[in-house]
Structure 1
């Protein structure tokens, strides 16, 4: 049965995976071996739709598919009418700081807001425009004003009042300034004042660095900063739900960068922020919010630098003691990603070959037997058991397909036999392994 895939998705998959990164769209076409995880996630989504909140930790070795899993979660969630956002922890992006690194994470989140019609991110202006149109239509209906006249300047104050009323209903901390900025956005929207609209968007995305600059542009006294950004995320979550969306899901990848924070006190402050988010979600202090963290086993279990170094988190995140390889508990906060088995990798490579052919309108001369030969060569190399990752298998396979596409006369058996295995783990992972020895 031929694979049904859009040309844009096929190109994104081949280009991204060839570069060793996860495609932002189309991941559902290359999903294998994650049926149980997706079923558990879908059940959790239903709970969040019904007003609960959730935190999940997706734990796996380097290259085991954590980032892929988060992108797959996005696809599932947007189909169920969630607003989603992805951001990576980096040395300059974290949950707690006093020098702008926390608000930098917030800005990255808001920059990557996505919905089903804009899956690649940048959807915040679309959402704001949609919400404003809803308020305008409601104002017209409640006051028996023709839709063709409601945008007249004489009704501006009426709409302004309704915007502020709606904002007050969905916000807690920082609601007044949030409302003022949204009104400024509306003013720019109605008057076609692009500078005012961009300034309001800049504030909402946490990109103002001084209160003086924000006051000059928008007349507000406060800005989004390291201390209040989490409240703003919760405000946006409630706003999205008021618009008719199911909830707000935030995916935070590369959590190993919290583990790498050199100062013990700063690491603890970041872990304390995770604890706050965890408690808020599971104690019902916030609704319709789903936050996913992706990290390595060290990030979770290392008792010197990982989450388990923080006792309050360790007690919440320890694995169900009755769980076994055969009987897994996918309802617990921590989900450990089991590596794909050889059969699943074979199915994945078959799918990739078909997508590659579709993308280039070609039929590369690679049979199922060739794929088996490729896998035998990869997995029988010295060191494969220790540090071969699905990422490297996929990239090498696509590289061979690329050579054969451009050089049809090349000997595929020779290309396969020339495969070499290298240790792609980050230096820190290698050092941690040495320390454990």
Structure 2
């Protein structure tokens, strides 16, 4: 008879609580997405195979296309979860005024700031430590007698330079910063070690003092950010990870930029695609998300023919092919939302106690969905986030109050959502007088 170990049961309960807490706040859970995902089996298998190819030394990408309500952000979060389970480091970046695609340095900063592994959030320092430790272990395993630590340290510094030889031909700063970090750590000079990590991450607060001590000229800028990213991927792989999986979300915001900024953004995108296709970014995987207008409008990538030709899809029938450059997500429908609700009940039961299926029946779930869709112009694809917030509230009340019967008590009141509705939700809500 198979039994679940107490620590595993507690981990599962803790994850369940995290999922419910995130849904209660209307956000995407940090992990455990496989427990609430529905209708994406084919797309997940495509991503999984691509990641296997990248782990073997390839470079690849996928564009995720979908309207508001199709679950693009959830899907890329799930894809990064799959990547993490396969041993990749991951980073989830949102295109915004502070991180525009037109500025490679800002993009690189966001990748470093959001770097994550299974073991750690904000994982840049952990990755660098693992990389240096792997170098030392490799040197020790040769059986060579290094005598004093100073000999091992000097040899490790040479290996740091050698490991980044390809990058150092055009960018000496990364290797210099890593040597400075290694020396500072060994000397117990933690402010300098922290400054070195900050400089590698392109943080703007690192001053001249560190650069002078490290013998570094200049800093990460738009012209060097790409080579720094290549170096970062080498470090990640050398630290024992399969590679780096990066999700770049909400590309459609690029359409609102001035023409010269849009053109620079699309140049950045073209450069990434060409580097991946040209084999210059091994062990690196990119996921990009955008609305249909980003792909098809005159201010989107259709305005750049060479780029558009690289990632357009051929549609000759009703059978979508997710192996093409774009995965096209379908809008949420009633059946998908009902399935999610049932999965959430299972998660909630582990987080708290078994949900009363008589009070929270399948019939009630369908009735609740209908109440919400009626207030949002019949658009079920608009309501998943709101529905799940409301649904968790219902489950909470059922768990707290034995006498609470949602079939009689639940009514959807949009007043309490004022100020938190997104533009797309506001646009279709039916105002009651």
Q: TM bucket by the smaller chain?
A: 0.7 to 0.9
Indicate if the aligned counterparts of 2:333 and 2:380 stay in contact, CA closer than 8 A: no
Give aligned pairs, total: 416
Q: CA offsets per residue over residues 88-145 of structure 1, 9 Å max, x none?
A: 1111111223xxxx42332221122122223xx2111111111111111222233623
Q: Which runs of 5+ in 2 are unaligned?
A: 429-433
Give, in whole Å, the separation in 1 of the partners of 2:311 and 2:166. 34
The reply to whether residue 356 of structure 1 matches residue 348 of structure 2 is yes
Residues 322 and 226 from structure 1, CA distance in 2 versus in 1: closer, same or farther, beyond 3 angstroms? same
Which of the numbers 249, 252, 256 marks the counterpart of 2:248?
252
- SS across alignment from 1:249: strand
TM-score by length of 1: 0.86
Cα RMSD over matched residues?
2.8
Question: How do 1:300-379 and structure 2 match up within 5 A?
Answer: 300-303=295-298, 305-324=299-318, 327-361=319-353, 363-364=355-356, 365-379=359-373
Q: Tell me the CA shift for residue 66 of structure 1.
A: 0.9
Deviation per residue, 1:124-183 (Å, 9 max, x gap):
11111111111112222336237xx66x23432222112211221566531x22111111
Q: Which residue of 2 aligns with 1:112?
A: 114
Match of 1:279 in 2: 274
Instruction: Specify which of 173, 181, 184 is matched with residue 185 of structure 1.
Output: 181
For residues 143 and 200 of structure 2, the distance between their equivalents in structure 1, rounded to whole angstroms, comes to 30
Question: Within 2, Cα distance between the matches of 1:270 and 1:14?
Answer: 37
**Larger deviation: 5-14 or 271-280?**
5-14
Per-residue deviation, 1:291: 0.8
Q: Secondary structure at the match of 1:225?
A: coil
Matched-pair contact (CA < 8 Å) for 1:199–1:218 = no
Q: Is the 8 A contact 2:382 2:425 kept in 1?
A: no
Cα distance between partner residues in 1 of 2:360 and 2:394? 10
1:17 deviation in Å? 1.7
SS at match of 1:286: coil
Check conservation: 1:163, 1:183, Cα contact below 8 A: yes
Residue 396 of structure 1 aligns with which residue? 390
Does residue 41 (structure 1) correspond to residue 38 (structure 2)? The answer is: no
1:55 matched to 2:51? The reply is no
**Which whole-Å deviations, capped at 9, do the CAs of 1:187-207 have from their partners, x for residues lacking one?**
122222211210110011111
Q: Which residue of 2 aligns with 1:297?
A: 292
Would the aligned equivalents of 2:69 and 2:384 in 1 still touch at CA under 8 Å? yes
* Alignment CA distance shift 1:374-1:427 (3 Å): closer
Give the secondary-structure state (helix, strand or coil) at the position aligned to 2:245: strand
Structure 1, residues 374-421: CA drift from partner, whole Å, max 9, x if none?
223334456023862322222221232234344443341244343559
CA distance in 2, matches of 1:92, 1:268: 18
Structure 2 CA distance for aligned equivalents of residues 245 and 210 of structure 1: 28
How many angstroms does 1:344 deviate by?
Answer: 2.4
* Residue 144 of structure 2 is aligned to residue 144 of structure 1: yes
Cα contact 1:54–1:282 (8 A) shared by 2: yes
Which residue of 53, 71, 96 corresponds with 1:90?
96
| TM-score normalised over the length of structure 2 | 0.87
Q: Structure 1 residue 80: deviation in Å?
A: 1.6
For the Cα contact (< 8 Å) 1:85–1:112, is it kept in 2? yes
In the aligned structure 2, how far is the partner of 1:40 from the partner of 1:266? 33
8 Å contact from structure 1 (residues 170, 235) kept in 2: yes
| Cα distance in 2, alignment partners of residues 430 and 279 from structure 1 | 39
Q: Aligned with 1:56: secondary structure?
A: strand
1:435 counterpart residue number: none
Shift of 1:87: 1.2
Structure-2 change in CA distance of 1:213 and 1:301 (3 Å): farther
Q: CA 1:82–1:403 in structure 2 vs 1: closer, same or farther (change >3 Å)?
A: same
Q: Deviations over 1:305-350 (max 9, x none)?
A: 22222222222222213242xx211111111111233222212101
Q: 1:355 to 1:428 in 2, by over 3 A?
A: closer
Say which SS state the counterpart of residue 6 (structure 1) adopts: helix
Within the candidate set 7, 19, 27, 1:13 is matched to 19
Q: CA–CA distance in 2 between the matches of 1:372 and 1:210?
A: 55
